[in-house]
Structures are given as structure tokens and as C-alpha cells.
Chain A
Amino acid sequence: METHTGPKSVEEVKARLADHDYLADDGLATSVYLAISLRRPLFLEGEAGVGKTEVAKVLSRWLGAELIRLQCYEGIDANQAVYEWDYARQLLHLRTAEATGIADSTAASKLEAELYQPRFLIRRPLLEAIDRPDGRPAVLLIDEIDRADDEFEAFLLEALSDYTITIPELGTFTAKVPPLVVLTSNRTRDVHDALKRRCLYHWVEHPSFDREVEIVKLRAPGVSEPLARQVAAATEAMRGFGLYKPPGVAESIDWALSLAALGRDRIDEQSVAATLGTVLKYREDLERVNQHGIPDLVRNALLRGGAA
């Protein structure tokens, strides 16, 4: 099994991730290598759109492990994260037992035992990740943990410390091989230290210019090299404008794709103005960029990116 042996070096991690269309820098590759080798959860924090979630997806493809995603939101609790009994079906079962007269002849305790069987169990992501039918470890993505309540963190901490889940009616489930866990956070609030300390931590930054060009070329194959360079240059410039929401790599890719879809192989003022909505998501940011001047932006991007 691939995950059992694991990668031999940071370089190998980089190469394998690149094979699967993800260009990681030294820092991220080291974190991933250590997360696999030390079997620790990997906590990725950073601006929206820098490719945190993508890491888990790529890991799943590379390692041939199933990706199990737990999207966090406010109010999420154990019922949505671990397991839940299918109460509607249980009630139906009770009604059937009653209607057919079985209920009268069956002891209450036996009736209860009938209700709490695996077939009435709804398995949620954490249980899925720990109790694998084929015994192969999964990649568990706990996405946007900062959106969940802090009570939920305490609960996760417990689940991630021994990879064991107990269902009172059924018994204890322990992962034979723990899943590879990736947690992401946009840092809308601080996640508790205790949880972070269980994990390896990596702050994901916007990529460097050259890396961003490579990423755009890789993720938007129809885009010409000069266009990719110009888009990366313009996005990089806009990150320095003090925008409310600076564009991430995801925006660069979208932008390059939109320009290519319009049949452009280099940027110009008109097409930039028409497609800026794929990059900027606030009215104020659009105004800010307009103040800086789109002609300037285009000229500098052509200079930096090398005009076609």
C-alpha cells in the first residue's frame, strides 16, 4: 500500500504533488512530508483562494486514498460530523412491528436492540474516515474549521487524538491506520491552541510570480504562456493595492480562463475592464483598481509578463 511506505523525501513530495497538478513550495512540501511521516494532522491556514483545500484533493489522488470531506459551518455538531441514527426509519420500524403484532410478543429490550443496528446508522465523515470497510486509510479534509463553534473544536480534538469513536449501542470503532487529516482555516477567528498543537501548522501564502505563472499554465492549459505571465503579473500588482479582498491563485486561474474564453492571448485595457469581475469581489476594490488606472495595470503587466 502506497501510504504505508510513504514518500522518502521532501523532494519526492514536491514531485508527486506536481505530477497531480499541484505546485508546492518548500514549506508546504515539508509540512506534507512530515504530516505523512509523523502521521499528524496538517493544519493549513491562509487567505481564501491560496489553494488550501486543493492540497487535500491532490493528496487523495496521489495516495489513491478516498477523500472524505467534512465541511464545517456554524452549529455543526456530532450528529453531522460522526454519526446519527436514522430516526425516521426507526419510527417506521416500530410502527411496522406494532402493526404486525410483533411488538406485543417481543420484549421491549429486544425491540430496542433491533432498532440500534448498523442498518439504521447514518455514517458521517468522521466515522467514515475512521472505520474504513477496506482497511485502507482515507484522506480526511476538515474544511473551514474556523466556521464551526469552539465547542466543536474540543470534540474534534478528542476524535483526532486517538482516532477512536464510540457508539454506545454498537461499540468502539478504531482506525487500523489513521486517516491523513488536513484541516483548513481562513482565519475568521483563532482556532484554539490545543487543537493546533495536535497538528503540523503551515501558513499558506500567495505564490511567487514564477510559481503563479506555472500554476496558471498547469491549471488553465488552454492559456498561452504570455497571457499566463501577464495575468500573474497583474494579479501580483493588485495584491499590492491594499484591496479588501486581494485576489488569490484561484482568481488568477479564473481570470486567465475567462480571458482565454474571450479569445485573448494577451491582456488589453478593454478585456481587463470586462473581466475584472472574476478577480475582484467588492465594489470598493473595483473602484480602487480603477483609481490606480487600468491602463497602468495593463502596461506594467505587459512589461513584467513580457508582451506577446
Chain B
Amino acid sequence: MIEPAVAEFVDHGERLAVGFCRALRVAGLRVPPSDTIRYVEALGLVGAESRSSVYWAGRTTLVHRPEDIGLYDRIFASYWEQRAAESVSIEGTPQPIVLALDTDDEDVPEGDDETDPDGDIQPVRFSRAEILTEKDFADCTPEELAELTRLMSRLRFTTHHRRSRRMIPTKRRTDRPDLARTVRWALRHHGEPMRRAFLEQATRPRRLVMVLDVSGSMEAYARALIRFAHAAVVARSRVEVFALGTRLTRLTRQLSSRDPDEAMRTAMPKVRDWAGGTRLGQGIQEFNNEWGIRGMARGGIVVILSDGWDRGDPSLLGSELERLHRVTEELIWVNPLKATPGYAPLAAGMAAALPHLDRFVEGHSYASLEHLAALLADTSR
């Protein structure tokens, strides 16, 4: 059904509107055709005479997240107002970032043996893997790293459950009768409720949030740790991943592709300050304000993967962690340096953080990450 106003607009502006949607798409916004159609429809209703109507018709039909508003504003300015046209091309071309890990992946000849459990090379590979799993990521060659990151997709992330408010049928006798089932059973016996049915509380996985430090000092570990995070995202539900450098970037969406190489390719450009400086305190503060305290971290398990080197104010980190600790089920800090002989948490950030942590563990090698995965699944607490 096309209303007259829409039809009229279609002649003049449809092409422009569709072009605008295309510009948004090129700039990285997801605009399915259904949204384009709705935008044209909306423009037909509000008219295209004023900037405000063109702007808001698009905002309400094409933008679905507050993060996208900035991008929308820029493209709107360049497309409809012919301003700052160059910003489109900058945002538009995804920077091809070549990852050492990924390219090496393809070159390693043993790559295919992995799917062949009876291959002759297997025992050799296992013993090699055993040594490798203990090796510090910082000491690994690119080939070894590639092999380790491949191993990561095998990590088991059993889910840590907590009670949900949802009630589900159970065979056990509980103090919550299941009247629906009781009535159904009663009907089979001429209305005599001979058997009683019961409900119990369902469980659901706790949310797991990983905040990954990608600053310069973490460079040797960050690429391995992000693969670890990806393995977790793929393996279990309710996982969120953030990269933390000079600013906080949410990576969950980018890491949700099952193919690790594909996930890395989409995630890397999002981390703008890859290997830049860190402001841990500010980063955690941003996480708390924008995500954590609002609900993401509540009752969940938060894992911070960082060496604790912080250029910012350590007392800010301390107070933000204290705040975060108050809403989480468990706050874990994974520090790759912890395994270093003679290590003491002297970095100001680390020292400020320690009092607010439930666990402080190492994360320098595959074996230590395997241990971490087991820790996350531990339900005995």
C-alpha cells in the first residue's frame, strides 16, 4: 500500500533516499532493504522540506543503537548537506589489517593433520604440543603462536550456571506445585488429582565479561588472549568482550563469527589504539558507566586480562574496581606477568587493584588459559 504522499515523494526523492542508505551501508552501518523502504515511507509521511524531518525520519528508521548516531550524523552531514565529504571515504574503506597470526596459519603445513586423529604425526605433535602449552606466549615464534591459537578452539568452556527466576517442570518433589500439569493428569482419571506435579527453578548461564588490555605492554599477549576470548564467545552463550587501550571498544559482535580468522579480521580494525597506551582506570570507569553497572556485569563473572601497567591514576582504578566488585559474582584478574619468577604486583595499577579481586591468576601460556577456562566453569563455589 503506497499512500499518495509516498508516491509523490518516490518520483523526486526515492533515489536520493536510497543513495543515502547506500552511503550509510558503505560507512559500516547495517541497513537492510526493509529499513530503506521504511525510510522512504517515513519521508513520504513527514515530507522532505526541512532538515529536521529528513534527519529524524532517518534517525528513527535507520539507526537502532546509540553508538551509530555519531556515524549517522557524519554521513547525514556529508550526504544531505554536502559537508565534509572526505569523512565518508575514510570511514568507508575498511582498513585491511594483516595479522601475522592469520597468514602464518595458512603456511603451517601440519594445519590439516589436526582433523586426522589417526595420522602418523599425531604422537609427535602431541608431545610437541605439551611442551608448547607451557611456553610463554612472549617467547613463542609466530608458527608456535599459530598452533597455540588453533588449539584454543578446543578449549572447553563449560557454563557456570546460576538460578533463574523461571520455573520449569521437575520430577522431584518440591514445594512449588505445577498446577497446569496436575490438571492435565487429573483429566485422565476423571478429574481425580491422583498424581501431583511440581516445578523447580531453572538455571541459566552466568554472563561472562572479558576486558582485554590491548596496550603496548601487552602486545606479546594480546593477540593470543583475543583468540582465547573468541574461543569463549563461540563456545558458550552470554559472553561479552571488550578491548581496553586508551579507550574502551566492545568486540562482542566482531568476535561472534565462528571462523577465528574472519572474527580477527573484523575485530582488529575496531581496536583503534591497538598497542597504544593504557588508561586502565578510565577504561574500567567507562565500562562501569556504559555497560557493567547498568546490568552487564551484575551477577556475572568479569575477567580482566591485563598486566596492570597504567598510565592513569591508580586510585581511580582502585575505586572503579571496588564499584565493579560490588555488582559482580566474581572478579578475576589475569596477569601474564604473574608467572614471571620473582614477580610482585608492584605496578601501581596492579597494587591498587589487588584488594578488590576475587582471584588473581596467570595467563602467559596456553596451559594457564586452559586452567582459566576450567576456573570459569567451576560451579563448586
Contact = CB atoms under 8 A, between A and B. Distances in A.
Interface of A: 9-10, 26-27, 30-31, 33-34, 37-38, 40, 43, 45, 73-75, 77, 85, 87-88, 90-91, 94-95, 97-98, 103-104, 108, 111-112, 115, 146, 149, 186-190, 193, 196-197, 200-203, 244, 284
7 tightest Cβ-Cβ pairs between the two chains A and B: A188-B295, A75-B165, A87-B179, A94-B191, A30-B56, A75-B166, A31-B60
Contact of B61 (A33, A77, A200, A284): A200
Contact of A104 (B45, B64, B190, B202): B190
A38 B38 contact: yes
B60 A200 contact: yes
Contacts of A189: 295-296
Contacts of A111: 187, 190-191
A90 B180 CA distance: 9
Main secondary structure of the interface of A (DSSP, over half): helix
Contacts of B289: 244
B15 interface: no
B69 A203 contact: yes
Contact of A196 (B64, B165, B294): B64
B166 A37 contact: no
B60 A85 contact: no
Q: Which of B53, B60, B167 has the most CB of A within 10 A?
A: B60
Contacts of A112: 187
A202 B57 CA distance: 10
Contacts of B190: 98, 103-104, 108, 111
Nearest to B289: A244
Contacts of A75: 164-167, 202
A74 B164 contact: yes
Contacts of A85: 180, 183
A74 B186 CA distance: 31
B270 interface: no
Contact of B59 (A27, A33, A108, A284): A27
Contacts of A94: 183, 186-187, 191-193
A175 B35 CA distance: 25
A208 B38 CA distance: 29
Nearest to B41: A38
B295 A203 contact: no
Given A74-B164, A201-B63, A30 B193 contact: no
Given A34-B61, A87-B182, A91-B179, 20 more contacts: A10-B53, A10-B56, A26-B52, A33-B46, A38-B42, A85-B180, A94-B187, A94-B191, A94-B193, A104-B190, A108-B190, A111-B190, A115-B183, A149-B166, A187-B294, A188-B298, A189-B296, A197-B64, A200-B60, A244-B323
B294 A103 contact: no
B179 A30 contact: no
6 contacts: A43-B64, A75-B167, A103-B190, A190-B65, A193-B30, A193-B64
Contacts of B32: 197
Interface residues of B, number: 47
B112 to A, nearest CB: 36
B381 interface: no
B151 interface: no
Given A34-B60, A193-B64, A244-B289, A91 B46 contact: no
A30 B63 contact: no
B165 A73 contact: yes
A30 B46 contact: yes
Nearest to B299: A74
B34 interface: yes
B295 A30 contact: no
Contacts of B65: 190, 196
Interface string B180-216: 1011001110111100000000101000000000000
Contacts of A34: 42, 45-46, 57, 60-61
B48 interface: no
Given A85-B180, A94-B191, A37 B60 contact: no
Contacts of A74: 164-165
B56 A27 contact: yes
A91 B187 contact: no
Given A10-B53, A91-B183, A91-B186, A45 B204 contact: no
Contact of A88 (B52, B179, B288, B293): B179
Interface string B16-40: 0000000000000010101100100
A190 B67 CA distance: 12
A16 to B, nearest CB: 16
B117 interface: no
A38 B190 CA distance: 51
A186 B294 contact: yes
Contacts of B45: 33-34, 37-38
